[in-house]
A and B are shown apart, each in its own frame.
Chain A
Amino acid sequence: MSPTSYHCSTPLGHAKGRAGIGQTFCVGYNAAGFAPSRPVPIDARLRTPMAVNPKKLRPYDQPPKVRRPILPREPDNGATAFLVAALVWFLTASGIGLLWVAYQLFPDQLTLHLEMPTISGVLTFELSPATTTSGFWNSLVYGWLGNAGLGAILFITPRLLGRRLATETAASAAAFLWNIGLIAGLVAIYVPQLAGSGALTEFPLPVAGVLLLALLLVNAAFWRTVLASADRLPYVSIWYFGVALLALLGLYGLISVAQLLSVVNVFSLSPAGMALANAFYGRALESLCLSGMAIGTLYYVIPRATANPLYSWGLAMLGWLVWLGLSTLAPLASLVDVSVPFAITQIGNVATFLLILPAFIVVANLLLSLSGRWTLVLSPGTVPFAVVALTFLAANALLEAIGSLGSVRALVGPTEWGTGVKLFALLGTATFAFLALADHAFPRLLRRDWGGTLLAEATLWAAFAGAAVAGLALIAGGVVHGSLLAQAATAEEINGFVFWFRLVLGAGIGLSALAAAVLALNVFLMYTIARPAEYAVVGEGAPVPAAQ
């Protein structure tokens, strides 16, 4: 075995009690590449570590226990925790999504209030259109996409920089804090006395504090790793991740501080001011944070999965620069109020329109990087997920550009159009980018020989149909709704038409839920029945040829 290749043996943790342990499988490429300090014979791995001579043990003696740290420090622990949690949240979010659609369809019949007496008074648990809407968007954005994005950053960064993550313990702690905070926040959303106001800012302040601490830890792990690297001009994914992480921490920190100051009566924004701040935050979260994580991930998985070089480094950096400038300005378009000069809002609209440019650059660069490996698009695996993500990226940029035009805003502004476009971005672009990463990363993180299964195909098609149907239903519903408003139709007539589009939305969300369930089954089978394997560096002495 080459000293530079990743060791190819069955890891102890996965080998216990399994038939065929000790067999060696080296498949594909594991960019984690953290070789052990010294090779350990396979037989030795099967024995429980003992500090004493086992021959001298008497029947009542117990072998010494191996002390494990509370927070694991192994490479990739943080990434694994985030990605496994993301999987669970994907399932949860799509389940809550079905509830959201049901409450959109039958708001009065399904609304439910449960009173819970507590020491400080009576708390009301509320299931209503408002709480299920908040629950769906928060679990989708912070639960599924947030966990997956942070997991992607922690998985990719050490592999690109050739350094172990600076503070692996902090990354594991961040995963724990982030998910504990999300669970608490999601529960609080259904108790309106505890929940805050706004969209994606409903978590109570203590929960926001926990989430901020988690973000701070991930930022610390990321930036310490980047700054310690000798690479002064790192790969383009790192640039996208850096902006996304800083923006998420900064924006969520600012909105939480504004809420805190309001609560303690130090400084309070007017209701209109708070609504503007919330609108800006919601748009920036999508344009800077989630799209940054998704594009950075796509720039990693496509060259890795195809084993091709990137088409152009210069084009990638041009795209990043243009994306950074325009994504920072685009949220200004959400500042629609009499107190904001129209020119400011218009800068945001023009930036939103121009965002089609970086999207086109990313799509062109990555499709040109596929050159010579086009057949991979038709085979199950990482590449089809990534190509679908690129398709949604282009479609979403086009729809955003159309929606930023004044005449279109006048027609569909107060309708479901915007929600449909947002679903394209979240359930389309970001979801497929992270599904591509999951397909690439889970076999490497769980050290299993697994890939290209029928379940991956099922996930791809269910998720694709789900995102397309759900997004298009709301976009079409928005156009119809806008037309009816222009004809001065009554609320009853409008609701009668929009009902059918919401029904189709339900079918789309149901397909997304199916995709999440199939993905969870895929990962479960991978962990339980697949052969243990290590992924070696291609062409560096791996005993078994690489199988990408």
Chain B
Amino acid sequence: MTVHTPIESRRRGIPGWALALTGVMFLAGAVFFATNLNGSNPPILGTPQPSGSGGGLNAVSIIKAAGCQACHGPDLAGQAAFPNLHGVKNGPTSENLQQLGKDHPDDWANLWIAGTDPAVAGIDRGGMPVFGGPPTNLSAEEIATVVEYLKTLP
């Protein structure tokens, strides 16, 4: 057998002050909304991060979202067959990218990460995904942010 023990209430109806307050609040909200529609949103991946260190953390967000650390390791220092990304400011460290580095000394990393340019079409990617196309679809700006960050790694 089960004992039914409901909680009673002193009154069933809604007090008048509550209805009035609700009406006033919603009216204020509607006015606020109607008068504050001008504006624009910043990019979510470009929002400055709490520590105040600027672009470095934006790049970290992109790197984490794109899953770079799954192969290159949590600190991007490489693991197993996947190369170390530290020191790329001096040029490519992998053997298969040396020629690309010579042909495109300024943007070889951007081309390699995007993977959509004919300049990298014939190079064995060794399992490296194409980040400039589906499914990741990183924009040229996002790739540039990541490359700038990688060039700051010791």
| Contact A312-B75, Cβ < 8 Å, known A275-B65, A337-B44, A481-B52 | no
Asked if residues B43 and A338 are in contact (CB atoms below 8 Å), the reply is yes
Asked if residues B10 and A310 are in contact (CB atoms below 8 Å), the reply is yes
| Contact A318-B18, Cβ < 8 Å, known A124-B74, A270-B136 | yes
Residues of chain A within 8 A (CB-CB) of B7 are 160, 235, 300, 303-304, 309-310
Q: Is A505 an interface residue (CB 8 A)?
A: no
Within the complex, which residue of A164, A350, A413 is in contact with B33, where a contact is CB–CB below 8 Å? A350
Which of A8-16, A30-38, A423-431 is found at the contact surface with chain B?
Answer: A30-38
* Nearest residue, chain B, Cβ from A278: B65
Asked if residues B136 and A268 are in contact (CB atoms below 8 Å), the reply is yes
Q: Which of A35, A338, A345, A495 has the most CB of B within 10 A?
A: A338
Chain B interface helix/strand/loop/mixed: loop
Q: Is B15 an interface residue (CB 8 A)?
A: yes
| Contact A313-B41, Cβ < 8 Å, known A491-B51, A491-B53 | no
Residues of chain A within 8 A (CB-CB) of B22 are 318, 322, 357
Asked if residues B65 and A312 are in contact (CB atoms below 8 Å), the reply is no
Asked if residues B14 and A164 are in contact (CB atoms below 8 Å), the reply is no
* Nearest residue, chain A, Cβ from B71: A193
* Nearest residue, chain B, Cβ from A334: B44
Q: Is A476 an interface residue (CB 8 A)?
A: no
| Contact A314-B36, Cβ < 8 Å, known A159-B5, A537-B3 | no
Number of A residues with CB within 8 Å of any CB on chain B: 86
Number of B residues with CB within 8 Å of any CB on chain A: 61
Q: Is B123 an interface residue (CB 8 A)?
A: no
8 Å CB contacts to B: which residues of A240-277? Answer: 262, 265, 268, 270-272, 274-276
Q: Is A485 an interface residue (CB 8 A)?
A: yes
Task: Output the least CB separation between A356 and chain B (Å).
Answer: 8
Q: Is B137 an interface residue (CB 8 A)?
A: yes
8 more A-B contacts (CB under 8 A) besides A231-B6, A312-B12, A485-B48? A122-B79, A272-B45, A309-B8, A311-B10, A314-B14, A346-B39, A414-B50, A537-B5
Give me the interface of A with B, judged by CB distance under 8 Å.
3-6, 29, 31, 33-35, 113, 121-122, 124, 126, 128, 158-164, 192-193, 197, 231, 235, 262, 265, 268, 270-272, 274-276, 279, 300, 303-304, 309-318, 322, 335-338, 340, 342-343, 345-347, 350-351, 353-354, 356-357, 360-361, 364, 369, 406, 413-416, 419, 481, 484-485, 489, 491, 494-495, 498, 537
A-B residue pairs, 5 tightest by C-beta: A162-B4, A33-B3, A268-B135, A271-B65, A314-B14
> What would 7 A/B residue contacts be, using CB atoms closer than 8 Å?
A33-B2, A121-B79, A121-B80, A279-B44, A304-B7, A342-B38, A495-B51
